[in-house]
Structure 1
Amino acid sequence: MMMQLAHRAFPSCLEQESKALDQVLGQLSQAREAMHRFIEVRVGGEELVIPYRIYDQGYEVVFDHLTETQSILYSCLLTRHHDGHMRQRHLERILSVREPWVVPFVVQLMGEYVIQILETVEAHLPTLDPALYGRFIRDNQVYFQTTHARMISYWDCYYRRLYKYPSEYVGFRVFAKLCEFP
């Protein structure tokens, strides 16, 4: 249920905000998450558990009742929504946020098949904080390698005919840039 998503997906320093968000969402939604799949990452020395997919309405009216921080938390969760358009819309909301707990939500999207999402990330690469992303990559090397491999697999399956050479495909360019971050 969405009620428990925020509490597990964000660091303890956001416990009060994430619990408040869980309460608001619990009143509105009976969201389902992909129970068998989670994304486990380390952020700031803490283990976080992010849902792989969320299946709910993506209640936009909720934003009117949230603090700024809660709104960012909810947008992070909605980047895990089953609808690619919803994921992209909320990615655009969080790309400019310079917080370490936002990074795994952005990086996860880089390994998915929706090319428009990768293009959005590429357009915002100059604004990403290299130190934040570099630290996340160093702290989550196996996760990062798996995400990179997933991007390659999607290119091979869906885009290889359109982008014959890896350098032509946006996913390869995005990961190459990320690997340059300190």
Structure 2
Amino acid sequence: MKMQRANQAFPAFLKQEAEALDQVIGQLCQARVEMHRFIEIRVGEEDLIIPYRIYDLGYETAFGYLNETQSLLYSCLLTRHHDGHVRQRQLERILSVHAPLIVPFVLQLTGEYVIQILETVEAHLPKFDPALYGRFIRDNQAYFQTTQARMISYWDCYYRHSYKYQSDYVGFRLFAKFREFQESC
């Protein structure tokens, strides 16, 4: 299936940019999106759908055809890429952006198993806007709880032997900070 659904992952005010992105990546990339698995979230007053995984070939060539906004949107989508290295590179591109549309893409990565990605998020926490993240978490309580439970499950499966105490594992520190954001704003 070609990835023709970028506009479902972003707020309506970005519809034209998302549609242009759909055209470019539809022409340049052979992309498949796992649409039987997707993530439903709320950003502001809008319900959005983020792909769970993207299986994409030739993704780097698309950036040369995209404007700044489209590149940002594409980086967000590529945080859902099947390759953890791609997810981390794209995360690093979006972490400095302070916009509600970025938050679900960053937060989703904190519930995954790649510890280097969790460490990257933790290193950038001081630059996060607590109000932005706090609002998203309050508006998406079930999603937040599921993401936290996934992080705990991955810790239990892959990292518990190395990080016996929860306070030593980056995922627990991240979610403690996210809960602070949720409660403080």
TM-score normalised by the chain length of structure 1: 0.97
Q: Higher mean Cα deviation, 34-43 or 51-60? A: 51-60
Q: Is the 8 A contact 2:28 2:61 kept in 1?
A: no
Quick one: which amino acid aligns to residue 13 of structure 2? C
- Is 1:70 aligned to 2:70, yes or no? yes
Q: Is the 8 A contact 1:5 1:50 kept in 2?
A: no
Paired position in structure 2 for 1:47:
47
Paired position in structure 2 for 1:10:
10
For structure 1, the residue ranges without an aligned partner over 5 or more in a row are none
Per-residue deviation, 1:63: 1.1
Over 3 Å off, 4+ runs = none
Paired position in structure 2 for 1:83:
83
Residue identity (%): 76
Quick one: which amino acid aligns to residue 21 of structure 2? L
Kindly report which structure 2 residues correspond to 1:3-152, keeping only aligned pairs within 5 A, or say none: 3-152=3-152
TM-score normalised by the chain length of structure 2: 0.96
For structure 2, the residue ranges without an aligned partner over 5 or more in a row are none
Change (3 A) 1:32 1:61: same
Q: Is the 8 A contact 1:6 1:18 kept in 2?
A: yes
Distance across 1 between alignment mates of 2:82 and 2:151: 18
Q: Is the 8 A contact 2:84 2:114 kept in 1?
A: yes
